[in-house]
Amino acid sequence: QAVPDVPAAIANYDEAINTIDALGVALGRPRLWDAEYQNDLATAYMNRGNAYQAVPDVPAAIANYDEAI
Other Cβ atoms within 10 Å of 39 Cβ, number: 12
Going from the C-alpha of 51 to that of each of 20, 67, 68, the distances in angstroms are 19, 15, 14
Say yes or no to pLDDT of 33 above 80: no
Tell me what the pLDDT averaged over the chain comes to. Answer: 90
Cα separation of 54 and 35, whole Å?
Answer: 28
Q: Are 47 and 13 in contact (CB under 8 A)?
A: yes
Q: Are 49 and 64 in contact (CB under 8 A)?
A: yes
pTM to 2 decimal places: 0.86
Q: What pLDDT, in 10s, does the model give residues 34-55?
A: 777 788 899 999 999 999 999 9
